[in-house]
Amino acid sequence: MQLSKYIDHTLLKADASKQAIINLCNEAKEYNFKSVCVNTCNIELCKKQLEGSDVLVCCVIGFPLGAMTTAAKVFETSNAIELGADEVDMVINIGRLKDKDYDYVTDEIRQIKKACKDKTLKVIIETCLLTDEEKIEACKCVLEAKADFVKTSTGFSTGGATFEDVKLMKDVVKDNCLIKAAGGVKTKDDFLKMIELGANRIGTSSGTKLIEKGG
């Protein structure tokens, strides 16, 4: 796969303007990225801007804290799919994971996966807030719920993806689930190293700096 297709070109800032989202979509088409990753209010705008291209629209659910009710996340997911989202990145309930309520975490992922229908679901576990043991348990929940990806980070907490976390996640999920590394991937060397360690997708706002046009 060409390197540009590893990238979810991301703009999730609260103050992102309509023009900034249009620019994001234009860059994604120009650089041939896999997707744009945006908040749900921008799904319809992105679908319109990306019409005729193979760039997907990815959105975030329960973002960035993950502390909403399951019902709220499921509704947001269903609404996003109706609006045209091709992929969904959800945030787990981190507090429930830390309470070792793995059934809750797994069931919530499972319900959201069902709401996604045939669309891709990536599960953000927010590695910077977890111990290694908790990261392992989170990955197990993702596997049990049959989500498509486990994802490191929102990029809005205390840290982003690390090489160590991607390696740990790969050791747990092996080839049973894909991995998305997000947050803090800003150099070409870091980008290539993440892929080497097992990342199948990279979430970054620095995609245009990492990839040559059309690369």
pLDDT tens for each residue of 148-162: 999 999 999 999 999
Q: Active-site residue among 73, 122, 135, 180? A: 180
Which domains, from first to last, does the chain contain?
58-208 (3.20.20.70)
Nearest to 59 by CA among 203, 207, 184: 203
pLDDT value at residue 214 = 52
Query: Does residue 89 have an active-site annotation?
Result: yes
Q: What is the mean pLDDT of residues 77-84?
A: 98
d(CA 190, CA 182): 11
Asked if 180 is an active-site residue, the reply is: yes
What is the widest separation between alpha-carbon atoms in the chain?
46
Catalytic entry in 89, 148, 165, 190: 89
Residues 15-48 have pLDDT tens digits of 999 999 999 999 999 999 999 999 999 999 999 9
CA nearest 140: which of 132, 75, 74, 6?
132
pLDDT-derived band at 212 (thresholds 50, 70, 90) equals confident
Of 73, 135, 151, 170, the active-site residue reads 151
